[in-house]
Amino acid sequence: MMNYPDENRKLGIKAWAEEDRPREKLLNKGRSAVTDAELLAILIRTGTLSETALDVAKNILSLAGNDLNRLARMSVKELTKVKGLGETKAITIMSALELGRRRKDETIQELPKIDSASKVYELMKPHLLDLDVEQFWILFLNRASRVIGKQFLSQGGIAGTVVDPRVIFKAAIENMASSIVLVHNHPSGNLRPSEQDNQITKKLKEGGRLLEIFVADHVIFANNGYYSYADEGQI
């Protein structure tokens, strides 16, 4: 007896066009382009022989009345009533919703705004105070001059440290920074910039102009104070 294909059997998600697959859609179009059902499908990963993961996800939402708050209150026992949803997948969904709840409950802390070299100095004290070797750091700022990240770049000896502009701008691009602040310390306490400091500042300023990443300041940190290229009109 010849076996004919079951025309009613649904194609698995992997057989869909790439732009329609939930994971690829999120990756290529961003989180906001993905529906609630598609997000759930990403979590549960697989469906049944007759239904895709997306079908199962839609059944989950239907059970919760398409209400995410109600879904978050459901138990594992309730969730596993959906065909194709075992205990492991139910726990995965509960864990994801719980993370969202905890994030919502956390107090949103405003990012520190860098509007002076003194703010940079205070921000970097926990990292650079009392060091006996030189370190180079970078602060990443958004368009509102608020710190969106900071990164240790290199460490040298007492007299200096090596800085690679390619590493700095690669990090700035990865952090989506609109501007950066360069920071390094002088363990000797001397606040006068060296010729090497001046050269790297000039090189980075010129490189930033080409990449449209503004070098807002270069702060030399010492235990007894700081030197700011911006304050001195040198940047």
Residue type, position 67, single letter: D
Higher pLDDT residue, 82 or 5? 82
Across the range 30-34, mean pLDDT stands at 88
pLDDT at site 10: 55
Q: How far is Cα 216 from Cα 235, in angstroms, rounded to an integer?
A: 8
Q: What phi and psi, each to the nearest 5 degrees, are found at residue 47?
A: -110, -140
Q: State pLDDT tens for residues 105-132.
A: 765 567 899 999 999 999 999 999 999 9
**Range with lowest mean pLDDT among 77-91, 150-164, 207-221:** 150-164
pTM: predicted TM-score of the whole model, two decimal places: 0.58
pLDDT higher than threshold 50 for residue 9: no
The rounded distance, in Å, linking the Cα atoms of 211 and 72 is: 45
Cβ partners under 8 Å of residue 30, min gap 6: none
CA–CA distance, 12 with 39 (Å, rounded to integer):
16
Q: Which residue has the higher pLDDT, 28 or 71?
A: 71
Distance CA 157, CA 226 (A): 19
Please give the structure tokens belonging to residue 154: 């290199």
Per-residue pLDDT at 21: 85
% of the chain exceeding 70 in pLDDT: 88
- Per-residue pLDDT tens over the stretch 138-177: 999 999 999 999 999 998 855 556 788 999 999 999 999 9
